[in-house]
Amino acid sequence: MFSAWIMQFDFGFAGVETPPRRVASRAKHAPRPAAQQFEFPGFDHLQQHSFYFAVVLDGSIAAIVDQVRRGIAERSGFEGVLDDPMHLHVALLCLCRRSGKPLSIELEQAAVEAARSVRMSPFEVTLDRAMSLGKAGEQTSGRRPVVLKTRSGEALRELHERLHGGLERARIVGGRPYAFMPHVTLFQHAASVEEVVPYIRWDVREFRLIHSLHGKSQQRVVASFPLRA
């Protein structure tokens, strides 16, 4: 589990207040099922599955990031639905993106065993700025990811590289690691966003393998991997 630790949470602007109800939260309208099971019998061929490794923000950090997210959404004119704060994460590596089928049991187990081989001590992460990724007009939808970034992402990059190495040795992925930019996606928006946010700091003590259904707001934690030297 993460050991949450907040420092210098002085916003520097006139308070962070929950914006008007027009910025809805998906969690308020669709509570997470207790067992986190996918229940779409007979429609497996229509579901789009993603499997990815991630550092997931724990409850206290997720609540603070959600508060910052709502402020950014209000100031930028976002009027969509925000995802469940408990799904906020830093993606490390994706195994299967929007496939019509889940990973085989054998491949899922191999990925878990490879991730267990990763050795790294816990480390601190600081989120300190918000921005839109990519260039305006690049996405066909006209929207770009609005993310929180960190200037101190060396440890996350190292974790990404060690995880990639373990998966490569297990022949689950191949080639050199791609250019990795640690970030937490807040929402998708057509407007450009760039602003400094108050420091949000916490100790990363584990990462997870997540199985999600695209567009369904459903996730299953396949396995958790405590960090250890």
Cα-Cα end-to-end distance for the chain: 16
**Residue 23: which residues within 8 A CB-CB, separation 6 or more?**
70, 73, 74, 78, 79, 80, 82
Owning domain of residue 53: 3-9+44-123+152-182+200-226
Q: Please compute Rg for the chain using Cα positions.
A: 18
Other Cβ atoms less than 10 A from the Cβ of 127: the count is 27
Q: What is the mean pLDDT of residues 139-168?
A: 89
Residue 57 within a domain: yes
Let me know if residue 128 belongs to a domain: no
Q: Over range 8-30, report the average pLDDT.
A: 46
Q: Which of 2-16, 104-118, 187-201, 215-229 has the lowest mean pLDDT?
A: 2-16
> What total number of domains does the chain contain?
1
Q: Is the pLDDT of residue 6 over 50?
A: no
Q: Are 55 and 1 in contact (CB under 8 A)?
A: no
Vertex 125: Cα angle to 194 and 109 (nearest 5): 110
Tell me which of 146 and 22 has the higher pLDDT.
146
Q: Is residue 187 part of a domain?
A: no
Average of per-residue pLDDT values in the chain: 80
In this structure, is residue 18 part of a structural domain?
Answer: no
80-89, 99-108, 186-195, range with the lowest pLDDT: 99-108
* pLDDT in the model for residue 136: 66
Whether residue 191 lies inside any domain: the answer is no
Task: Locate 163 and state its tokens.
Answer: 């995880």
pTM of the complete model: 0.76
Query: Which pLDDT does position 137 carry in this prediction?
Result: 59
Instruction: Check residue 52 and give its pLDDT.
Output: 94
Element (H, E) at 193: none
The answer to the question of residue 206 being in a domain is yes
Torsion angle of the four alpha carbons 30, 48, 69, 189, in this order, in degrees rounded to the nearest 10: -120
- Asked if residue 36 has pLDDT above 80, the reply is no
Within-domain flag for 25: no
pLDDT (0 to 100) of residue 40: 36
Instruction: Return contacts of 44-49, CB within 8 angstroms, 24+ apart.
Output: 44/101, 45/100, 46/100, 47/100, 47/213, 47/214, 47/216, 48/98, 48/99, 48/100, 48/213, 48/214, 48/215, 49/96, 49/98, 49/99, 49/100, 49/101, 49/102, 49/103, 49/211, 49/212, 49/213, 49/214
- pLDDT over threshold 70, residue 25: no
CA distance 182 to 153: 6
Calculate the CA 169 to chain-centre distance: 25
Residue 135 lies in a domain: no
- The answer to whether 206 and 224 are in contact (CB under 8 A) is yes
Tell which wins on pLDDT, 46 or 128.
128
Residue position matching structure tokens 């990815």: 52
Read off the CATH number of the domain in which 61 is found: 3.90.1140.10
pLDDT (mean) for 108-116: 96
Closest among 58, 72, 55 to 6, alpha carbons compared? 58
- Least confident range from 27-36, 44-53, 115-124: namely 27-36
Work out the average pLDDT over 75-92.
94
| Range with the poorest average pLDDT among 39-43, 99-103, 120-124 | 39-43
